[in-house]
Structure 1
Amino acid sequence: MAVVTTRQLLESGVHFGHQTRRWNPKMRRFIFTERNGIYIIDLQQSLTYIDSAYAFVKDVVSRGGQVMFVGTKKQAQETIAEQATRVGMPFVNQRWLGGMLTNFQTVIKRVQRLKELEGMDFDDVAGSGFTKKELLGFRREMEKLEKTLGGIRDMGKTPQAVWIVDTNKEHLAVDEARKLKIPVIGILDTNCDPDLVDFAIPGNDDAIRSVALLTRVLADAVAEGLVARSGAQGGGAAEATAGTTEPMPDWERELLGAAPDAAPAEVAPVEAGSAEPADDAAPVPASEQPAEAAVEAEAAADAQVDVEQQDDQPVAN
């Protein structure tokens, strides 16, 4: 079953390419036709490539990998941050810093600096040991680092795959990923080079709705991978109960804090007479019978003493 329909692609404008004078001849095989000076992308091929990329991302995440979301153009910034945050993946949506992958150890030091600045109280001038001017400089430094590195603050190592919107604009990210042999999944418009990516998705990388749809589909693949990873860690008990409840919609999953789709086992209600021993209950062992007889005799003696005490009390006139 396809993860997205042709109607959804059409409604989002995924089929619109660039003007015929702005194209890459290597994209010829993905072009369906030309209309009013604009290339039309073959959506049947797009569906096939989407399914392939979806399966790859799901497999990578299910084995514990991370997928970095990259899109710094204005049409992609909000969607990249929203979808990556939804599935707990790192992202870059403002500016790609050179060496963000190839010089990752230096980038990590800047992330640590960001966390140090976030721990400072900029309003406590007296207790901080710094002047107001110094604290203002620290605040501006923190805001700058947050803007560029906030999306990768929890990324402890280089990702196992990279999702890129507009491979032409993000050529630095593509080059670094290829240098480290990190698989690249990207939206390819008619002016892109398909040889630079490992998993190409022919489509419109300029329209907001197109970028939002394709990025959401990839985030859903990450979500499916997280479900599979969580299920594998849960062991056989989770597998036995899997599928007993209706799965959550892809866009609604909050997977990082939620267990896989499994319902807790229901406790059978206790009937009123269930506390009584069954007719075929095992007999009391002989070694325990004397102890039970002694307890019964002691209880009978206590009851006899209570009766005698009541008889000795005078009756009121």
Structure 2
Amino acid sequence: MANNIEVKDLLEAGVHFGHLTRKWNPNMAPYIYMERNGIHVINLYKTVAKLEESNEALKKIAASGRKILFVATKKQAKDIVAEKAGKVNMPFITERWPGGMLTNFVTIRKAVKKMATIDRMKKDGTFNTLSKKERLQVDRLRQKLEKNLGSISDMTRLPAALFIVDTMREHIAVKEAQKLNIPIFAMVDTNSDPRPIDFIIPSNDDASKSIEAIMASVTGAIAEGLTERKSEKQADKEGNEEAKPKEAKAPKAPKADTVATEDAAANAKSEE
């Protein structure tokens, strides 16, 4: 895999720093290497193994053409996630998790369609027929929808998976995904419960360097999956074109002069 990451890289990014020992979740014990100065240290060898496992699964999802929804609303993660997810054309939520985002997806889609309706109004001139107060209200609504849902405007159906930074903060997203049996990939710190998560990446989910290192690896795997899908589509297209049977050419109609000559010869022969 081209986006392989080593323990040294994770160490430099501070991925190994956990939370204070008094704040730990005992279910994270298998992923903790040691305790130092009252802070748990994450076992980075296990992080690398889990990261590779997650990357392989995410690569397959991307290669199948399905979407992975990224969720990170904490200050130090939102910009990084928006940038990295945007580069691989995946939807993301970085402002606020809208309640019912997954379990009431139809309503969320209606709100997204409202944005498109407002855009149409501005294009066809209907917007200009509104009063000044109404235009102001519509503009405010459009800005609010864009801020909260603009990044998922292309997501026409439920995502195939969720990638979460900080499962404690995004606990509502975790519950909704569980309810719908949507696989959850997540950066899980020592204070979090790993049990509801399908693909755990034990890591520091508070430091921006740590988040960036994990996100770079994850989105690199997704990019590989998208490239594979593109290559397969191209190969299928070329294969279909080659497999098309060549159309049999219709026999040329004999020229009028030739027909007349042949008729004259036939008449002369019959007279003899």
The TM-score normalised by the length of structure 1 is: 0.72
* Structure 1 match to 2:75: 74
* Structure 1 match to 2:89: 88
Task: Map 1:83-232; keep pairs closer than 5 Å.
Answer: 83-121=84-122, 128-232=128-232
* Structure 2 match to 1:26: 27
Distance 1:221 1:27 in 2: 26
Count of matched residue pairs: 237
Give the residue type in structure 1 aligned to 2:190: T
Give the residue type in structure 2 aligned to 1:232: E
Aligned to 2:22, the other structure's residue is in SS state coil
Give every structure 1 segment of 4 or more consecutive aligned residues whose post-TM-superposition deviation is greater than 4 Å.
236-239
Structure 1 segments unaligned to the other structure (5+ residues):
240-317
1:113 deviation in Å?
0.3
Identity of aligned residues (%): 43
Task: Map 1:225-304; keep pairs closer than 5 Å.
Answer: 225-235=225-235
The TM-score normalised by the length of structure 2 is: 0.83
Q: Tell whether the 8 Å contact from 1:68 to 1:162 is kept in structure 2 after alignment.
A: yes
Q: Tell whether the 8 Å contact from 1:184 to 1:199 is kept in structure 2 after alignment.
A: yes
Give the residue type in structure 2 aligned to 1:220: G
Q: Tell whether the 8 Å contact from 1:231 to 1:238 is kept in structure 2 after alignment.
A: no
Give per-residue Cα distances to partners, 1:26-70, cap 9 Å, x unaligned: 001100001111100000000000000000000111112111111
Distance 2:138 2:31 in 1: 50
Larger helix fraction of residues: 2
Name the CA shift for 1:6/1:238 in 2 (closer, same or farther; >3 Å).
farther
Distance 2:131 2:195 in 1: 54
Aligned to 1:88, the other structure's residue is in SS state coil
1:215 deviation in Å?
1.2
Distance 2:90 2:26 in 1: 34
**1:36 matches 2:17:** no
Give per-residue Cα distances to partners, 1:212-236, cap 9 Å, x unaligned: 1111211111101101111111126
1:119 deviation in Å?
3.5
* Structure 2 match to 1:65: 66
Q: Tell whether the 8 Å contact from 1:71 to 1:166 is kept in structure 2 after alignment.
A: yes
Structure scoring higher RCO (CA < 8 A, sep ≥ 6) equals: 2
Aligned to 1:21, the other structure's residue is in SS state helix
1:238 deviation in Å?
7.5
Structure 2 segments unaligned to the other structure (5+ residues):
240-272
Q: Tell whether the 8 Å contact from 1:49 to 1:201 is kept in structure 2 after alignment.
A: yes
Give per-residue Cα distances to partners, 1:272-312, cap 9 Å, x unaligned: xxxxxxxxxxxxxxxxxxxxxxxxxxxxxxxxxxxxxxxxx
Distance 1:73 1:183 in 2: 21
